[in-house]
Structure 1
Amino acid sequence: MKWIRRGTDESGLTLVEVLAALVILSVVSLVLTSFFTNALTYAKGNQSKTVMVNLARNALFYMEKQSYEPIHTYFANTTNTAITCPVSGCDANVSQLAEDSSILQQILNPNINNVQYTISVIYQRDMHNDMLNNSDTKNMAEELLPVLVRVEKVNGTASARNAAEVEGYIASERVR
Protein backbone atom coordinates (compact mmCIF):
# COMPACT_ATOMS: atom_id res chain seq x y z
CA MET A 1 0.00 0.00 0.00
CA LYS A 2 1.15 3.41 -0.92
CA TRP A 3 0.80 6.24 1.53
CA ILE A 4 0.08 9.65 0.20
CA ARG A 5 1.89 12.24 2.13
CA ARG A 6 0.60 15.77 2.37
CA GLY A 7 2.91 18.71 2.08
CA THR A 8 3.65 21.20 4.78
CA ASP A 9 1.39 23.85 3.19
CA GLU A 10 -1.76 22.85 5.00
CA SER A 11 -4.75 24.94 3.98
CA GLY A 12 -7.45 26.10 6.43
CA LEU A 13 -8.19 28.82 8.91
CA THR A 14 -6.38 29.32 12.14
CA LEU A 15 -8.14 30.15 15.36
CA VAL A 16 -6.87 33.75 15.22
CA GLU A 17 -8.36 34.25 11.74
CA VAL A 18 -11.72 32.86 12.87
CA LEU A 19 -11.76 35.14 15.92
CA ALA A 20 -10.85 38.18 13.78
CA ALA A 21 -13.69 37.37 11.37
CA LEU A 22 -16.14 37.05 14.29
CA VAL A 23 -15.07 40.43 15.70
CA ILE A 24 -15.55 42.11 12.32
CA LEU A 25 -18.94 40.43 11.86
CA SER A 26 -20.02 41.55 15.36
CA VAL A 27 -19.06 45.18 14.73
CA VAL A 28 -20.91 45.24 11.41
CA SER A 29 -23.97 43.63 13.04
CA LEU A 30 -24.02 46.25 15.81
CA VAL A 31 -23.84 49.08 13.27
CA LEU A 32 -26.67 47.59 11.22
CA THR A 33 -28.79 47.03 14.33
CA SER A 34 -28.31 50.67 15.32
CA PHE A 35 -29.26 51.76 11.80
CA PHE A 36 -32.47 49.73 11.80
CA THR A 37 -33.41 50.93 15.30
CA ASN A 38 -33.01 54.55 14.21
CA ALA A 39 -34.97 53.88 11.01
CA LEU A 40 -37.82 52.37 13.05
CA THR A 41 -37.87 55.38 15.39
CA TYR A 42 -37.89 57.76 12.42
CA ALA A 43 -40.74 55.84 10.75
CA LYS A 44 -42.80 55.94 13.95
CA GLY A 45 -42.21 59.70 14.20
CA ASN A 46 -43.34 60.14 10.60
CA GLN A 47 -46.48 58.15 11.33
CA SER A 48 -47.23 60.40 14.30
CA LYS A 49 -46.57 63.50 12.18
CA THR A 50 -48.98 62.21 9.52
CA VAL A 51 -51.70 61.73 12.14
CA MET A 52 -51.18 65.30 13.37
CA VAL A 53 -51.30 66.78 9.85
CA ASN A 54 -54.54 64.90 9.17
CA LEU A 55 -56.00 66.18 12.46
CA ALA A 56 -55.03 69.74 11.51
CA ARG A 57 -56.67 69.38 8.10
CA ASN A 58 -59.79 67.96 9.73
CA ALA A 59 -59.99 70.91 12.16
CA LEU A 60 -59.45 73.40 9.32
CA PHE A 61 -62.15 71.73 7.25
CA TYR A 62 -64.54 71.84 10.22
CA MET A 63 -63.85 75.53 10.86
CA GLU A 64 -64.34 76.32 7.15
CA LYS A 65 -67.84 74.84 7.34
CA GLN A 66 -68.89 76.98 10.33
CA SER A 67 -70.67 80.30 10.00
CA TYR A 68 -68.21 83.01 9.00
CA GLU A 69 -69.66 85.99 10.90
CA PRO A 70 -69.20 84.69 14.49
CA ILE A 71 -65.62 83.69 13.73
CA HIS A 72 -64.90 87.03 12.05
CA THR A 73 -66.39 88.88 15.01
CA TYR A 74 -64.41 86.75 17.47
CA PHE A 75 -61.11 87.55 15.72
CA ALA A 76 -62.05 91.23 15.26
CA ASN A 77 -61.55 91.54 19.00
CA THR A 78 -57.80 92.20 19.23
CA THR A 79 -57.43 90.11 22.39
CA ASN A 80 -58.60 86.95 20.62
CA THR A 81 -55.75 85.47 18.64
CA ALA A 82 -56.63 81.77 18.68
CA ILE A 83 -59.50 79.35 19.05
CA THR A 84 -58.57 76.81 21.68
CA CYS A 85 -60.65 74.54 23.79
CA PRO A 86 -59.05 72.84 26.81
CA VAL A 87 -59.89 69.24 27.58
CA SER A 88 -61.95 70.49 30.54
CA GLY A 89 -64.30 72.35 28.18
CA CYS A 90 -64.65 75.33 25.88
CA ASP A 91 -65.38 78.76 27.29
CA ALA A 92 -68.59 80.57 26.31
CA ASN A 93 -66.94 82.78 23.66
CA VAL A 94 -65.46 79.80 21.83
CA SER A 95 -68.59 77.65 22.21
CA GLN A 96 -70.68 80.13 20.23
CA LEU A 97 -68.36 79.83 17.20
CA ALA A 98 -69.62 76.38 16.26
CA GLU A 99 -73.10 75.06 15.70
CA ASP A 100 -72.43 72.27 18.22
CA SER A 101 -69.89 73.05 20.95
CA SER A 102 -69.54 69.38 21.96
CA ILE A 103 -68.33 68.54 18.45
CA LEU A 104 -65.97 71.52 18.58
CA GLN A 105 -64.63 70.12 21.87
CA GLN A 106 -63.99 66.75 20.19
CA ILE A 107 -62.43 68.34 17.11
CA LEU A 108 -60.02 70.50 19.11
CA ASN A 109 -59.08 67.74 21.62
CA PRO A 110 -58.96 64.43 19.77
CA ASN A 111 -57.72 61.22 21.33
CA ILE A 112 -56.26 58.94 18.67
CA ASN A 113 -54.76 55.55 19.58
CA ASN A 114 -54.71 56.57 23.27
CA VAL A 115 -52.67 59.69 22.46
CA GLN A 116 -54.23 63.01 23.46
CA TYR A 117 -53.78 65.94 21.07
CA THR A 118 -54.70 69.59 21.39
CA ILE A 119 -55.51 71.79 18.39
CA SER A 120 -55.33 75.57 18.15
CA VAL A 121 -56.78 77.62 15.30
CA ILE A 122 -54.58 80.73 15.24
CA TYR A 123 -55.67 83.88 13.44
CA GLN A 124 -52.86 85.34 11.31
CA ARG A 125 -53.68 88.98 11.95
CA ASP A 126 -50.54 90.43 10.35
CA MET A 127 -51.09 88.51 7.12
CA HIS A 128 -54.73 89.56 7.04
CA ASN A 129 -53.85 93.22 7.62
CA ASP A 130 -51.28 93.05 4.80
CA MET A 131 -53.93 91.60 2.50
CA LEU A 132 -56.41 94.33 3.50
CA ASN A 133 -53.84 97.07 2.88
CA ASN A 134 -52.91 95.75 -0.55
CA SER A 135 -55.26 97.07 -3.26
CA ASP A 136 -54.90 93.85 -5.30
CA THR A 137 -56.04 91.57 -2.48
CA LYS A 138 -58.37 93.86 -0.50
CA ASN A 139 -61.63 92.48 -1.95
CA MET A 140 -60.52 88.92 -1.38
CA ALA A 141 -59.24 89.67 2.14
CA GLU A 142 -62.65 90.97 3.19
CA GLU A 143 -64.08 87.49 2.58
CA LEU A 144 -61.22 85.38 3.98
CA LEU A 145 -59.59 84.89 7.36
CA PRO A 146 -56.07 83.43 7.20
CA VAL A 147 -55.50 80.88 9.96
CA LEU A 148 -52.80 78.53 11.09
CA VAL A 149 -53.94 75.25 12.64
CA ARG A 150 -51.42 73.85 15.12
CA VAL A 151 -51.64 70.32 16.53
CA GLU A 152 -49.54 69.23 19.50
CA LYS A 153 -49.33 66.11 21.62
CA VAL A 154 -50.52 66.86 25.13
CA ASN A 155 -47.83 64.81 26.89
CA GLY A 156 -45.19 65.08 24.19
CA THR A 157 -41.83 66.71 24.61
CA ALA A 158 -41.24 69.95 22.76
CA SER A 159 -39.88 68.86 19.40
CA ALA A 160 -40.69 69.15 15.73
CA ARG A 161 -41.95 65.55 15.74
CA ASN A 162 -44.61 66.34 18.36
CA ALA A 163 -46.27 69.22 16.53
CA ALA A 164 -47.68 69.94 13.09
CA GLU A 165 -49.06 73.05 11.42
CA VAL A 166 -51.36 73.61 8.46
CA GLU A 167 -52.23 77.00 6.96
CA GLY A 168 -55.56 77.79 5.40
CA TYR A 169 -58.43 80.25 5.10
CA ILE A 170 -61.88 80.45 6.60
CA ALA A 171 -64.08 81.82 3.84
CA SER A 172 -67.37 83.68 4.11
CA GLU A 173 -70.55 82.10 2.79
CA ARG A 174 -70.47 84.45 -0.23
CA VAL A 175 -67.22 82.88 -1.42
CA ARG A 176 -68.01 79.25 -0.68
Structure 2
Amino acid sequence: MNRYKQKVDKERKNFWRREQGFTLVEVMAGIVILSVVAMMAMTFFSSSLSYSKINENKTVMVNLARNALVYAEKQDFAAWKQYFVTSNKSEVTGMACLSGSACSQYSFLVPNSSPEVLARVLNPSVNGVKYTVTIRYQKMSSSSAAALPASVANIKNDTNYLLPIVVSVQGPEHQNGMSGTSVEGYITNETIR
Protein backbone atom coordinates (compact mmCIF):
# COMPACT_ATOMS: atom_id res chain seq x y z
CA MET A 1 0.00 0.00 0.00
CA ASN A 2 2.90 2.25 0.75
CA ARG A 3 4.24 1.79 -2.78
CA TYR A 4 0.90 2.71 -4.26
CA LYS A 5 0.79 5.88 -2.20
CA GLN A 6 4.30 6.85 -3.28
CA LYS A 7 3.38 6.29 -6.92
CA VAL A 8 0.27 8.50 -6.64
CA ASP A 9 2.24 11.25 -4.90
CA LYS A 10 4.92 11.10 -7.59
CA GLU A 11 2.32 11.35 -10.40
CA ARG A 12 0.66 14.27 -8.68
CA LYS A 13 3.95 16.16 -8.41
CA ASN A 14 4.79 15.44 -12.05
CA PHE A 15 1.35 16.67 -13.15
CA TRP A 16 1.88 20.06 -11.53
CA ARG A 17 5.37 20.33 -12.98
CA ARG A 18 4.12 19.58 -16.49
CA GLU A 19 1.26 22.13 -16.28
CA GLN A 20 2.38 25.25 -18.11
CA GLY A 21 -0.84 27.35 -18.02
CA PHE A 22 -2.65 29.02 -20.89
CA THR A 23 -0.89 30.48 -23.87
CA LEU A 24 -1.41 34.10 -24.89
CA VAL A 25 -3.45 32.98 -27.91
CA GLU A 26 -5.81 30.95 -25.69
CA VAL A 27 -6.28 33.89 -23.31
CA MET A 28 -6.98 36.28 -26.20
CA ALA A 29 -9.47 33.84 -27.77
CA GLY A 30 -11.26 33.54 -24.42
CA ILE A 31 -11.46 37.32 -24.07
CA VAL A 32 -12.85 37.69 -27.60
CA ILE A 33 -15.50 35.01 -27.01
CA LEU A 34 -16.46 36.56 -23.68
CA SER A 35 -16.67 40.02 -25.29
CA VAL A 36 -18.96 38.77 -28.07
CA VAL A 37 -21.27 37.11 -25.55
CA ALA A 38 -21.31 40.26 -23.39
CA MET A 39 -22.14 42.46 -26.40
CA MET A 40 -25.02 40.18 -27.38
CA ALA A 41 -26.35 40.29 -23.82
CA MET A 42 -26.07 44.09 -23.71
CA THR A 43 -27.95 44.37 -27.03
CA PHE A 44 -30.72 42.15 -25.67
CA PHE A 45 -31.05 44.17 -22.46
CA SER A 46 -30.95 47.45 -24.38
CA SER A 47 -33.75 46.39 -26.74
CA SER A 48 -35.75 45.02 -23.80
CA LEU A 49 -35.45 48.36 -22.02
CA SER A 50 -36.53 50.23 -25.15
CA TYR A 51 -39.52 47.91 -25.65
CA SER A 52 -40.50 48.32 -22.00
CA LYS A 53 -40.34 52.12 -22.31
CA ILE A 54 -42.56 52.05 -25.44
CA ASN A 55 -45.13 49.87 -23.66
CA GLU A 56 -45.06 52.10 -20.59
CA ASN A 57 -45.70 55.16 -22.76
CA LYS A 58 -48.51 53.35 -24.61
CA THR A 59 -50.17 52.49 -21.29
CA VAL A 60 -50.00 56.12 -20.19
CA MET A 61 -51.54 57.24 -23.50
CA VAL A 62 -54.40 54.71 -23.22
CA ASN A 63 -55.17 55.94 -19.70
CA LEU A 64 -55.10 59.57 -20.84
CA ALA A 65 -57.46 58.71 -23.71
CA ARG A 66 -59.85 56.98 -21.31
CA ASN A 67 -59.68 59.98 -18.99
CA ALA A 68 -60.60 62.36 -21.83
CA LEU A 69 -63.37 59.99 -22.96
CA VAL A 70 -64.92 59.89 -19.49
CA TYR A 71 -64.62 63.68 -19.25
CA ALA A 72 -66.40 64.15 -22.61
CA GLU A 73 -69.07 61.59 -21.70
CA LYS A 74 -70.00 63.57 -18.57
CA GLN A 75 -70.54 66.85 -20.43
CA ASP A 76 -73.76 68.27 -21.86
CA PHE A 77 -74.90 66.06 -24.74
CA ALA A 78 -76.82 68.84 -26.51
CA ALA A 79 -73.73 71.09 -26.67
CA TRP A 80 -71.55 68.35 -28.17
CA LYS A 81 -74.30 67.38 -30.61
CA GLN A 82 -74.66 70.99 -31.71
CA TYR A 83 -70.88 71.27 -32.19
CA PHE A 84 -70.38 67.99 -34.08
CA VAL A 85 -73.67 67.47 -35.94
CA THR A 86 -75.28 70.87 -36.41
CA SER A 87 -72.09 72.91 -36.86
CA ASN A 88 -70.52 70.06 -38.82
CA LYS A 89 -67.19 70.28 -36.96
CA SER A 90 -65.17 67.12 -36.71
CA GLU A 91 -62.81 67.50 -33.74
CA VAL A 92 -61.83 69.15 -30.50
CA THR A 93 -58.05 69.23 -30.35
CA GLY A 94 -55.51 70.07 -27.72
CA MET A 95 -53.39 71.85 -30.35
CA ALA A 96 -55.98 74.64 -30.46
CA CYS A 97 -56.40 74.63 -26.70
CA LEU A 98 -52.97 75.05 -25.12
CA SER A 99 -54.19 77.29 -22.29
CA GLY A 100 -57.46 78.16 -20.58
CA SER A 101 -57.85 81.39 -22.54
CA ALA A 102 -57.20 79.58 -25.84
CA CYS A 103 -59.78 76.99 -24.82
CA SER A 104 -62.54 79.61 -24.66
CA GLN A 105 -63.59 78.57 -28.18
CA TYR A 106 -64.71 75.27 -26.64
CA SER A 107 -66.17 76.73 -23.44
CA PHE A 108 -69.78 76.08 -24.49
CA LEU A 109 -68.92 72.34 -24.66
CA VAL A 110 -68.05 72.26 -20.97
CA PRO A 111 -70.55 74.58 -19.26
CA ASN A 112 -70.11 72.88 -15.87
CA SER A 113 -66.36 73.39 -15.71
CA SER A 114 -63.81 76.00 -16.63
CA PRO A 115 -61.84 76.13 -19.89
CA GLU A 116 -58.65 75.59 -17.84
CA VAL A 117 -59.88 72.10 -16.92
CA LEU A 118 -60.54 71.31 -20.57
CA ALA A 119 -57.07 72.63 -21.46
CA ARG A 120 -55.53 70.24 -18.90
CA VAL A 121 -57.62 67.32 -20.19
CA LEU A 122 -56.61 68.02 -23.80
CA ASN A 123 -52.94 68.78 -22.99
CA PRO A 124 -51.99 66.57 -20.04
CA SER A 125 -48.49 66.28 -18.67
CA VAL A 126 -47.43 63.05 -16.97
CA ASN A 127 -43.99 62.79 -15.34
CA GLY A 128 -42.83 65.85 -17.26
CA VAL A 129 -43.91 64.43 -20.62
CA LYS A 130 -46.50 66.46 -22.54
CA TYR A 131 -49.25 64.75 -24.52
CA THR A 132 -51.89 66.08 -26.92
CA VAL A 133 -55.46 64.75 -26.91
CA THR A 134 -57.89 65.04 -29.83
CA ILE A 135 -61.58 64.15 -29.63
CA ARG A 136 -63.00 63.32 -33.08
CA TYR A 137 -66.58 62.75 -34.10
CA GLN A 138 -66.98 59.46 -35.95
CA LYS A 139 -69.54 60.11 -38.61
CA MET A 140 -70.79 56.83 -39.99
CA SER A 141 -70.21 56.51 -43.71
CA SER A 142 -72.83 54.89 -45.92
CA SER A 143 -70.44 52.06 -46.87
CA SER A 144 -69.69 51.17 -43.24
CA ALA A 145 -73.41 51.45 -42.36
CA ALA A 146 -74.23 49.02 -45.17
CA ALA A 147 -71.80 46.48 -43.71
CA LEU A 148 -73.62 46.46 -40.36
CA PRO A 149 -76.96 44.88 -39.57
CA ALA A 150 -79.76 47.41 -40.04
CA SER A 151 -80.61 47.59 -36.33
CA VAL A 152 -76.99 48.34 -35.36
CA ALA A 153 -76.56 50.88 -38.18
CA ASN A 154 -79.74 52.69 -37.07
CA ILE A 155 -78.48 52.88 -33.48
CA LYS A 156 -75.06 54.16 -34.54
CA ASN A 157 -76.60 56.76 -36.88
CA ASP A 158 -79.11 57.95 -34.29
CA THR A 159 -77.49 61.19 -33.08
CA ASN A 160 -80.43 61.87 -30.77
CA TYR A 161 -78.94 59.54 -28.18
CA LEU A 162 -75.36 58.63 -29.14
CA LEU A 163 -72.42 60.53 -30.56
CA PRO A 164 -69.64 58.10 -31.55
CA ILE A 165 -66.23 59.60 -30.83
CA VAL A 166 -62.60 58.56 -31.03
CA VAL A 167 -60.16 59.98 -28.51
CA SER A 168 -56.58 60.03 -29.83
CA VAL A 169 -53.48 60.76 -27.79
CA GLN A 170 -50.12 61.73 -29.25
CA GLY A 171 -46.93 61.86 -27.26
CA PRO A 172 -43.67 63.70 -27.91
CA GLU A 173 -42.33 60.79 -29.95
CA HIS A 174 -45.03 61.50 -32.56
CA GLN A 175 -42.52 63.83 -34.22
CA ASN A 176 -40.10 60.88 -34.48
CA GLY A 177 -42.61 58.83 -36.46
CA MET A 178 -43.98 56.83 -33.54
CA SER A 179 -47.73 56.54 -33.41
CA GLY A 180 -50.08 57.42 -30.60
CA THR A 181 -53.12 55.53 -29.44
CA SER A 182 -56.89 55.82 -29.76
CA VAL A 183 -59.93 54.82 -27.72
CA GLU A 184 -63.47 54.71 -29.10
CA GLY A 185 -66.58 55.58 -27.13
CA TYR A 186 -69.89 57.42 -27.12
CA ILE A 187 -71.20 60.61 -25.65
CA THR A 188 -74.68 59.59 -24.55
CA ASN A 189 -77.79 61.64 -24.11
CA GLU A 190 -78.63 62.44 -20.49
CA THR A 191 -81.99 60.67 -20.84
CA ILE A 192 -80.30 57.28 -21.25
CA ARG A 193 -77.37 57.72 -18.86
- What TM-score, normalized to structure 1? 0.83
- Alpha-carbon distance between aligned partners in 2 of 1:78 and 1:25, rounded to the nearest angstrom: 68
Measured at CA, do residues 76 and 166 of structure 1 come closer, stay the same or move farther in structure 2, by a change above 3 Å? same
SS at match of 2:190: coil
Amino acid at match of 1:54: N
Name whichever of 73-82 and 24-33 sits farther off. Answer: 73-82
Measured at CA, do residues 114 and 33 of structure 1 come closer, stay the same or move farther in structure 2, by a change above 3 Å? same
List gaps (5 residues or longer) in structure 2: 1-9
Within 5 Å, give how 1:108-119 maps onto structure 2.
Answer: 108-119=122-133
- Alpha-carbon distance between aligned partners in 2 of 1:66 and 1:41, rounded to the nearest angstrom: 38
Measured at CA, do residues 163 and 140 of structure 1 come closer, stay the same or move farther in structure 2, by a change above 3 Å? closer
Are the counterparts in 1 of residues 62 and 182 from structure 2 also a CA contact under 8 Å? Answer: yes
Are the counterparts in 1 of residues 73 and 186 from structure 2 also a CA contact under 8 Å? Answer: yes
Q: Displaced runs of 4+ in structure 1, greater than 6 A?
A: none
- Alpha-carbon distance between aligned partners in 2 of 1:53 and 1:156, rounded to the nearest angstrom: 15
SS at match of 1:24: helix
Within 5 Å, give how 1:67-86 maps onto structure 2.
Answer: 67-77=76-86, 79-85=88-94, 86=97
Instruction: Say which one has the larger Rg.
Output: 2
- 1:90 alignment partner in structure 2: 103
Are the counterparts in 1 of residues 135 and 165 from structure 2 also a CA contact under 8 Å? Answer: yes
Aligned identity (percent) is 38
- 2:31 alignment partner in structure 1: 22
The one-character-per-residue Cα deviations of 1:115-154 (angstroms, maximum 9, x if unpaired) are 11110001111259838x9641324642111111001125
How many matched pairs? 171
Measured at CA, do residues 16 and 97 of structure 1 come closer, stay the same or move farther in structure 2, by a change above 3 Å? same
SS at match of 2:191: coil
Amino acid at match of 1:121: I
Are the counterparts in 1 of residues 168 and 182 from structure 2 also a CA contact under 8 Å? Answer: yes
The CA RMSD over aligned residues, in Å, is 2.8
- Alpha-carbon distance between aligned partners in 2 of 1:46 and 1:159, rounded to the nearest angstrom: 16
- 2:165 alignment partner in structure 1: 147
- 1:57 alignment partner in structure 2: 66
List gaps (5 residues or longer) in structure 1: none
Offset of 1:102 from its aligned partner? 2.1
- What TM-score, normalized to structure 2? 0.77
Query: Structure 1 or 2: larger helix share?
Result: 2
Offset of 1:74 from its aligned partner? 0.7
Are the counterparts in 2 of residues 127 and 146 from structure 1 also a CA contact under 8 Å? Answer: no
Are the counterparts in 2 of residues 108 and 118 from structure 1 also a CA contact under 8 Å? Answer: yes
